[in-house]
Amino acid sequence: MPARLRVGFFLHSIRSDWNNGNAHFLRGLVRAMGQLDHRVTVFEQENNWSVDNLLSEERCGSTSLEQFAHVYSDISVNSYKLSVEDLRPLVPDLDVVIVHEWNPPELIDALLTLREEHKFATLFHDTHHRASSTPDAIKTMQVTRFDGVLVFGESLRLVYQRDFRVQNVWTLHEAADTSVFYPREALKTTDVVWIGNWGDDERSTEIKQFLVRPAARAAASTTIYGVRYPEEALNTLADAGIRFGGYLPNLDAPATYASARLTLHIPRQQYSRAVDGIPTIRVFEALASGIPLISAPWRDTEQLFCPGDFCWAGSEDEMTEAMSFLIGNSDAARRQADQGLSTVLKRHTCAHRAAELTAICEEVLAR
């Protein structure tokens, strides 16, 4: 059993976080695996959708890529083309190949073909709700041919076992990259900040119910960052007096959190219903940044967090009340933020997940 694993991650993109929240955790996980002395290489598809859209951001597209290269100079990123011939020289020296779910089926075909030649282990990594909401898309990924599947929540693990008949499924929760996300001191320039995308109407109703209207009722100065907001959504924010900041590089998020008095978690409908119990990556990142957080409804079925790590708001009235309380009570807000930060540092850092992933890889290789 190799103490020092040779791991290859095949990802849509790790350099660009434009509408690609997967990059947040994966950056930290890859870094943490390297800190365990594993040899980790990232393979990113040429001319991918997220990078292309990032570069169309006039304000900071190319700057964001430069920022990634500077902050994560320890991560080796290689581009690849979709063919067996082009992939063949990339994989011979790997022990484990991890393929993220946001990849084309053609990549899966090529890698599974090459596995027969080079005998590396393969793991499929799913950090989305498609296995539940659009299972036909996952069926094209040939998940039963992998040596196992990594999922970011227990409810999704059960979906793979029940609906796809995959025997070896491990829960690997997302976590905060605490080399980037940690408390900072800054002047408070807004009461509420929310970083999130509109999401194809997966939570448009919830954004209005748990953010737009409560912020207006609490007279809270509010700023929203994100992409893919339709004109109707932008008009709704403008009518409510909410500032829209557009795309925010995730590496700027810690400083942005530091400039606000509180933030929110508004889960997409899939994560509060079909595959409940899975928080967005921004919950981990916000708590790691030391900012008070209020969450719209979801069920913490795996007890990832402790009572008091953040506030729960089950209705528009409760959200308004929680906003007003935390804005007006700095000591209580500080105590809540400190507790949330403590829980993340004890349970939910990328170092924790790297240790878990190492154990999973060793288990797979032992077979």
pLDDT (tens digit per residue) in 281-292:
999 999 999 999
Do the Cβ atoms of 240 and 210 come closer than 8 Å? no
Q: Which residues pair with 195 in a beta bridge?
A: 225
- Stated as kind and residue range, the H or E segment containing 78 is strand 77-80
- Stated as kind and residue range, the H or E segment containing 9 is strand 6-11
Crossing angle between the packed helical segments 316-328 and 330-347, to the nearest 10 degrees: 100
The mean per-residue pLDDT over the stretch 44-65 comes to: 89
Least confident interval from 14-18, 81-85, 239-243, 329-333: 81-85
pLDDT at 224: 98
Query: What are the backbone dihedrals phi and psi of residue 261, each rounded to the nearest 5 degrees, phi first?
Result: -85, -25
Q: How far apart are CA 148 and CA 199, in angstroms?
A: 29
pLDDT at 1: 43
Query: What are the backbone dihedrals phi and psi of residue 162, each rounded to the nearest 5 degrees, phi first?
Result: -80, -50
- Alpha-carbon Rg for the chain, nearest whole angstrom, is 20
Q: What is the dihedral of CA 158, 159, 162, 163, to 10 degrees?
A: -170
Residue whose pair of structure tokens reads 């008095």 in the numeric block: 261
**Are β-strands 148-151 and 190-195 bridged in parallel, bridged antiparallel, or unpaired?**
unpaired
pLDDT at 297: 95
pLDDT at 201 over 80: no
pLDDT at 199 over 70: no
Q: What is the DSSP string of 111-145?
A: HHHHHHHH--EEEEEE-SSHHHH-HHHHHTTTGGG
Q: How far apart are CA 132 and CA 197, in angstroms?
A: 21
**Residue 60 pLDDT grade (very low, low, confident, very high; cuts 50, 70, 90):** confident
Q: How far apart are CA 229 and CA 286, in angstroms?
A: 22
Residues 6+ apart with CB under 8 A from 126: 100, 101, 138, 149, 150, 151, 152, 156, 160
Q: Write the burial class of residue 345 (CB in 10 Å: 0-12 exposed, 13-18 middle, 19+ buried).
A: middle
Residue 260, amino acid? A
**Residue 273 pLDDT grade (very low, low, confident, very high; cuts 50, 70, 90):** confident
Residue whose pair of structure tokens reads 């790790």 in the numeric block: 14
Q: What is the dihedral of CA 220, 299, 169, 42, to 10 degrees?
A: 0
Q: What is the pTM of this model?
A: 0.96
Instruction: Locate 226 and state its tokens.
Output: 């994100």
Residue 353, amino acid? R
Instruction: Locate 117 and state its tokens.
Output: 């030649």
Could you give the 3-state DSSP secondary structure of residue 151? strand
pLDDT at 2 over 60: no
pLDDT at 5: 97
Q: Using a pLDDT cut of 90, give the percent of the chain over it.
A: 88
